[in-house]
Chain A
């Protein structure tokens, strides 16, 4: 197993773990955390696999482009987390609930 595949598999494990937590936990904060773990997994896959681009001269040279992209992805994830937390705080202030309720079978 090459190093790239190792990190990609770790990333996929994080994605699956996050997806599982997103589905089973009702508390919204846990759902937000689960999404953050999922995005970390995706970023890890992106960075890990990009260490071995097909036409790179040195086979293990780091490719800077995915790092720039993942940086953008992190900004997006931070924005998503901020928006979600603001909405959750507001929902709790209004209703006292921190779950979506079971009206749609979450």
Chain B
């Protein structure tokens, strides 16, 4: 009755390896570092195995406990999931290496960092694999709680305030999403993505439209799209460097992934006016986030506002994608992957500069380039991807969007895409320029462990190399993509 499907063992391992390790780290705090590192490498290994399996054999499924769809919980790994899982694994294993060095002298933070970080990784992986709207809600909450606790890790007043604001926003977003799930369950009698997608075109219209709006609103809040970005900079700016990297690179992507999943697989990829609205907010986010990034005096806040701007690009792609199809979707996903790698590299570099100088005031970064050449290289390379210069991953993403915008005659969007790149160049060079100025006076400076410098550089290099791997990644993203027939069904549904 239950078909034996490809790669279910890898899918289970991707979630249960970090989960088991998180619990072990919690029970054996003295061994937390070594356990955490082993778990990180293992998790990354099984994730890459799953990604290769999906790339080779197509979409993988597994039924938890052997219960089938209307009642049971289905896990599904298609190309979109696999790409985000692989990005998470790459960032995750590198951040783990970085954190081992970063928390070496801080026993308190070390004890709490590892279980929380591994739980966060578990929640991310479970979220990317779930094909069940309610299971997605649970993973979304797990992710939020782990992220909030990590934000509060520093323990200071700023970290606590940032964490509380983050928690309130996160729970509010999840509740809005859950309200949508409740209404969809009412219409369709199931929370399985496939069954709901099949029932949506015939579902009672106002209920399912309100459900879609509630879910989207909640996810937009959690993704920090302008004007709901207010909570992001304080949370990301006040957390320890490895945590900021994880929050900006991975956690924000999870709610964007879910939004995309709903849009493509549940609602069928149409919805012209909703896409235009979100695109407009994306445009505002690109401009507003970039300008505010440029005006920051502290490096971590600059990077956090840059995240607000880069999230704008992901939404700016929606109107292009709904009108023009596959290339713009690929562009948006490429930008999400490239931003994940580059932004993690930037936050890790910022952590090095903070460790080195004891502060992250941009105007006083003088002489950093002589003392931390690897860190500055990492920052600049990550900046190349954020700006969207060739041959980086960010360039490919923006190029695909630009092509789509030209093809559709959306010259306003072309201008915004280019202007966002110019503003990004301005804020990246603001940092790099200050780092090149000669030191005004000698200060007492701390050394930075080489592991912290190399891990930042590794991620930045990955963001550049991503641009050269389009022929490998583009087919992966197409694995299991929603059929076009569904899109037309939705178009008819939303137009009526």
A residues lining the B interface (CB < 8 Å): 15, 19, 22, 28, 31-32, 35, 38-39, 42, 45-46, 49-50, 52-55, 63, 65-66, 69, 72-73, 76, 79-80, 83-84, 87-88, 90-91, 94-95, 97, 100-101, 103-106
Contact = CB atoms under 8 A, between A and B. Distances in A.
B189 A83 contact: no
Given A42-B182, A49-B185, A53-B189, 13 more contacts: A35-B168, A45-B183, A46-B182, A55-B189, A65-B185, A72-B134, A76-B141, A79-B145, A83-B167, A84-B164, A84-B167, A87-B164, A100-B164
B165 A100 contact: yes
Contacts of B168: 22, 31-32, 35, 84
B185 A46 contact: yes
16 contacts: A15-B179, A32-B168, A35-B171, A35-B172, A42-B179, A46-B182, A49-B182, A54-B188, A80-B167, A83-B145, A84-B171, A87-B164, A87-B167, A88-B164, A94-B157, A94-B160
Contacts of B185: 46, 49-50, 65-66, 69
A94 to B, nearest CB: 5
A104 B189 contact: no
B161 interface: yes
B244 to A, nearest CB: 18
Contacts of A65: 71, 185
Interface in B117-166: 134, 137-138, 141, 145, 148-149, 152, 155-157, 160-161, 163-165
Contacts of B171: 35, 39, 80, 84
B178 A42 contact: yes
A104 B141 contact: no
Nearest to B182: A46
A38 B175 contact: yes
Contact of B157 (A52, A73, A76, A91): A91
B234 interface: yes
B178 A73 contact: yes
Query: Which of B137, B138, B165, B168: most chain A CB closer than 10 A?
Result: B168
A73 B174 CA distance: 10
A45 B179 contact: yes
Contacts of B361: none
A84 B169 CA distance: 12
A88 B157 CA distance: 11
Nearest to A106: B165
A67 to B, nearest CB: 12
B292 to A, nearest CB: 13
Contact of A91 (B137, B161, B172, B230): B161
Identify which of B137, B157, B230 gathers the most chain A CB atoms within 10 Å of its CB.
B157
B186 interface: yes
A91 B186 contact: no
Closest 10 CB pairs of A and B: A46-B182, A49-B186, A91-B160, A53-B189, A76-B141, A95-B157, A42-B179, A80-B171, A45-B182, A87-B164
A100 B141 CA distance: 22
Nearest to B156: A94
B420 to A, nearest CB: 24
Contacts of B183: 45, 49
A55 B186 CA distance: 11
Given A49-B182, A50-B186, A104-B230, A35 B164 contact: no
A53 B174 CA distance: 24
B145 to A, nearest CB: 6
Nearest to B187: A54
Contact of B189 (A54, A88, A91, A101): A54
Contacts of B230: 104-105
A28 B164 contact: yes
Given A45-B182, A54-B189, A90-B160, A69 B141 contact: no
B157 to A, nearest CB: 5
Residue among B163, B178, B191 with the most chain A CB within 10 A?
Answer: B178
Contacts of B189: 53-55, 63
Nearest to A72: B138
